[in-house]
Amino acid sequence: LCGDAGTAPEDEGGTSGNPYAGLVSRLRAAWLSGRTRPLEYRLAQLEALGRFLEEQKKDILEALALDMRKPPFEAEFSEVLLCKNELNESLNNLSRWMKDEQVDKNLATQLDVAFIRRDPYGVVLVIAPCNYPIYLLLVPLIGAIAAGNCVIVKPSEITKNSERLAVEALPRYLDKDCFAVVTAGVQETTRLLENKFDYIFFTGSSSVGRIVMTAAAKHLTPVTLELGGKNPCYVSDNCDVKNVARRVAWGRFFNAGQTCIAPNYILCSVEMQNKLVPALREAITMFYGPNPQESPDFARIMGDKQFRRVRALLKSGRVAIGGQTDEKERYIAPTVLVDVQPSDPAMQEEIFGPILLIITVANMEEAIDFINSHERPLVVYAFSSDDKVVNQVLERTSSGSFCGNDTLMHVTLTSLPFGGIGSSGLGNYHGRFTFDSFTHRRGCLQRGTGLEPINVLRYPPYSPHKTGLV
Ligand code: NAD
């Protein structure tokens, strides 16, 4: 736990005796002091986060290698570079984002000032998952700081080395009165969630998202829920098979498939499946060589329990490529399963490992029906050389995001809102949207003190004469 627990807590929301109540009330006192509000303060904390990313980069890559053998390129791209993008976006735009927004007025308020103030929520909690343990901890933190909040961040307890780095190094860069890192497993997080927060930003599985939302509801705390799901990928007959195979394989096997927006299953015709399987085999060999276990560019599953869950999914359908496992290393080969039935376990849960399913459909209509008969995913992918086909899939499906003719790349744009819909999540972030997520839009009207004779028109006693005037 970073930061001492502070003075004995007030019984805020009935949490006296709660091990985190002191910490929360200490952060609340700091927030109420107004310390985190000025632009200069926010910029200074964000710049300190930039120094953390620079100075700790080697340790970050090392921690990620120990946690899941994350390949250095993947770690640098997805955990450091994307954080820096987000940070630069905030540093460059914050003064503009923070400005009051003047709004339209009616006749009665023509001489007054009406504006939207971007107010911080107060004390916010960020809970991060295990798959991108630095990126998914820091990006919400960047937004919460930019918006002027005090923040508690809780990294995943699964990725121990990244968790240790966060709790030991981050506090050296940030104002300890306003920002804290809490290390907590399930039991401790349950206690943490008993406290009243002003906003909760959760990234993780849909099942835990429900638990977090239930805890938040007790205090009517607003939430962002960045959850999981099964992302479909429609591949039409009209496409460059080799290109598609490379782009899909990259998205599926990046970070050994432990990516919330990875394509989970391909929907295509039998003819396309016959072409795709050899093309995927070629792409996998090109990426990882003849034995991916020996490749420095292929990650491992991050925990034993997670490894066993993913391995069990290999029983669905028939292995067309890969299928090898090594429990000691938590290695699962890049795998493609065909003849998968919608009722198979691999189609019933999020895969979250290096397994790609292929389900054959007669045509695009059937693919769209299939997608729409399942929970709404984080992202829908569609591949075709014909833009009309891609647009049809976009038009007739619903998902958090959409990406045509590639995978994952939409996440690199801070100009796009990123988030789920339905069971894949609630709210969105990245760039300006992260700032907005941690900001309360406070509608403000500041009236002049004069012109009272006009106000008399709306005061009782009412009369038909006054009503006519209004
Ligand atoms: P998880 O839901 O098991 O854990 C996420 C966080 O919640 C961790 O910090 C964990 O300590 C905490 N937690 C776990 N059980 C809890 C409980 N009962 N009460 C309170 N807190 C609890 O998820 P994970 O395995 O770390 O990550 C994988 C999941 O996250 C996948 O479903 C993936 O799709 C999803 N994910 C979503 C996004 C997104 O942006 N939408 C990004 C990354 C991961």
Predicted confidence (pLDDT) per residue in 404-450, tens digit = 999 999 999 999 999 999 999 999 999 999 999 999 999 999 999 98
Three-state SS across 402-465? EEECCCCHHHHCCCCCECCCHHHEECCECCHHHHHHCEEEEEEEECCCCCHHHHHHHCCCCCHH
The DSSP bridge pattern shows strands 113-120 and 439-446 to be antiparallel
Task: Please determine, for residue 8, whether its predicted confidence score (pLDDT) is greater than 50.
Answer: no
Predicted pLDDT of residue 240: 97
pLDDT over threshold 70, residue 470: no
pLDDT of residue 13: 52
pLDDT for residue 464: 78
Contact (Cβ atoms closer than 8 angstroms) between residue 171 and residue 67? no
Which long-range contacts does 447-454 make (Cβ < 8 Å, 24+ apart)? 447/109, 447/112, 448/111, 448/112, 451/111, 454/108
pLDDT tens-digit profile of 350-379? 999 999 999 999 999 999 999 999 999 999
Residue to substitute in 208, 261, 307 for testing ligand 1 pocket (most ligand atoms within 8 angstroms of CB): 208
Q: CA-CA distance, 319 to 94, in Å (whole number)?
A: 50
Report whether residue 161 contacts ligand 1, using a CB cutoff of 6 Å. no
CA of 32 to the centre of ligand 1 (A): 31
Count of alpha carbons within 13 Å of 20, Cβ hemisphere only? 25
CA–CA dist 218, 18 (Å, integer): 16
Q: Is the pLDDT of residue 12 over 70?
A: no
Q: Which of 297, 271, 273, 303 is nearest to 285 (CA)?
A: 297
Angle between the N-to-C axes of helices 39-55 and 135-146, in degrees from 0 to 180, rounded to the nearest 10 = 160
User: Cα 383 vs. chain centroid, distance in angstroms?
Assistant: 24
Q: Which atom of ligand 1 is nearest to the CA of 207?
A: 2
Atom of ligand 1 nearest to the CA of 192: 20
Rg (CA), the chain: 25
Pocket test for ligand 1, best of 82, 203, 211, 408 (most atoms within 8 A of CB): 203
CA-proximal residue: ligand 1, atom 16 (nearest): 186
14 pLDDT more than 90: no
Ligand 1 centroid from CA 94, angstroms = 29
Give percent of the chain above pLDDT 90: 92
Q: Does ligand 1 lie within 6 Å of residue 292's CB atom?
A: no
Residue 10: is its pLDDT beyond 70? no
Average pLDDT over residues 236-248: 97
In short, whether 131's Cβ falls inside 6 Å of ligand 1 is yes
Confidence grade of residue 457 (pLDDT, cut at 50, 70, 90)? confident
- Whether residue 3 is predicted with pLDDT greater than 60 in this model: the reply is no
User: Is the predicted pLDDT of residue 4 greater than 50, yes or no?
Assistant: no
Which is the closest atom of ligand 1 to the Cα of 228? 34
Q: Which atom of ligand 1 is nearest to the CA of 425?
A: 41
Determine if ligand 1 sits within 6 Å of the CB of residue 227.
Answer: yes
Q: How far is the CA of 262 from the centre of ligand 1 (A)?
A: 16
CA 453 to chain centre: 54
Asked whether 189 lines ligand 1 (CB < 6 A), one says yes
pLDDT digits 0-9 by tens, 61-93:
999 999 999 999 999 999 999 999 999 999 999
Given the cut 0.90, state whether the ipTM is greater than it.
yes
Model pLDDT for residues 330-352, shown as the tens digit of each residue: 999 999 999 999 999 999 999 99
- Cis check for the bond before 171: say yes or no (omega within 30 of 0): no
Q: How far apart are CA 142 and CA 240, in angstroms?
A: 40
> Does residue 55 carry a pLDDT above 80?
yes
pLDDT, tens only, 106-158: 988 999 999 999 999 999 999 999 999 999 999 999 999 999 999 999 999 99
Place 2 in a pLDDT band, splitting at 50, 70 and 90. Answer: very low
Instruction: Identify which of 141, 189, 231 to mutate to test ligand 1's pocket (most ligand atoms within 8 A of the CB).
Output: 189
- State the catalytic residues: 226, 260
Report the largest interatomic distance among the alpha carbons of the chain, rounded to a whole angstrom.
90
Instruction: Report the share of the chain in percent with pLDDT over 70.
Output: 96
Please report the pLDDT score of residue 15 as a whole number: 73
- Spell out the residues 6+ positions from residue 226 whose beta carbon is closer than 8 angstroms to its own: 136, 201, 202, 203, 204, 260, 418, 419, 420, 425, 427, 429
What integer pLDDT is reported at residue 326 of this predicted model? Answer: 98
Residue nearest atom 6 in ligand 1 by C-alpha distance: 129
